Amino acid sequence: MEGSVEYQVSLRYIRKAFLPVTRDQKLAEFMPVFNVMGTGEQKKVPGKVEARARVYLPEFLNFARKLGFKVEANESLLKWLNLPPSRRERLEYSGSRRIILRANDDYAYLRLMVYGVVMAVLKTPAEWGQLEDYVLSMEPIQLRFWASKFKNTYWKYKNRRKLDYLARRFLEVEWV
C-alpha cells in the first residue's frame, strides 16, 4: 500500500553548544508517521522516535530541501533564521518556533538521518559540505546499515552520546 508511511523530522529548541562559527542549532527528532484506516477515516499515528541529533541551520534545512522534504514552518521564522545574528537581535520574532520536515521517500529520510546524526559530531561548515556529498553518493545497502545502527543504538540507550560515539565510528570506517 503506497503512501502508508510518511517520514517526519521535528526541529525543536536545544541549548546552544559553543562552535568556532555562529549557527542556529536545533534538536532534530526523526520519526515515521503511519497512515492507518480506522472506522471509515484515515488517521495519522506517530511512530517511535528513531534518533535525536543536534543539527545546524541553515545547512540542514538546505540539505533537506535538496532531498525533497517539505518544510512546514511559519514563513517569518524561516526569514528570521536566514538573517545574520547581528540583525536578528534587533528583530523580535513572535510565533511558533517549531519546524517540521515531511517526506514520503524512505531513502531521502535515511539520508537525512545519517547526515543529521553525523553532522552533530562535525564542527565546521566545510566538513558539513563534504559529508553532504558523501551521503548523497552512498549506496542503499550502506545507507540502510548505518541508519539501522543509529536507530537501534538510540532505542537501546535513549542517549545522544551513544549516537555521537557511533557517528565517530562512521567517520572512521566510511568517510576517510
Confirm if 110 and 142 have CB atoms less than 8 A apart.
Answer: no
pLDDT > 70: what percent of the chain?
A: 84
User: 15-29, 55-69, 70-84, 154-168 — which is least confidently predicted?
Assistant: 70-84
Report the half-sphere exposure of 17 (CA within 13 A, side-chain side).
13
Residues 7, 158, 12: CA angle, nearest 5 degrees: 50
pLDDT value for 153: 96
Q: In this predicted model, which residue has the larger pLDDT, 5 or 91?
A: 5
What is the distance between the alpha carbons of residues 89 and 48, in angstroms, rounded to a whole number? Answer: 36
Q: CA nearest 2: which of 40, 31, 35?
A: 35
- Tell the residue number behind the cell numbers 511559519, with chain if given: 74
How many domains is the chain built from?
Answer: 1
**Residues 78-129: pLDDT tens digits?**
565 655 655 554 444 444 567 899 999 999 999 999 999 999 999 888 999 9
Sign for the pseudo-dihedral over CA of 90, 96, 101, 102: negative
Pick the most confident of 18-22, 72-76, 96-100, 167-171: 167-171
Could you give the CA distance from residue 28 to residue 99 in angstroms, rounded to a whole number? 10
Joined together, the cell numbers standing for residue 73 give 514552518
Q: Which of 132, 59, 60, 135 is nearest to 101 (CA)?
A: 60
Range of the domain at 86: 5-174
Q: What is the pLDDT of residue 90?
A: 47
The predicted pLDDT at position 143 comes to 96
pLDDT of residue 121: 94
Among the residue ranges 18-22, 132-136, 141-145, the one predicted with the least confidence is: 18-22
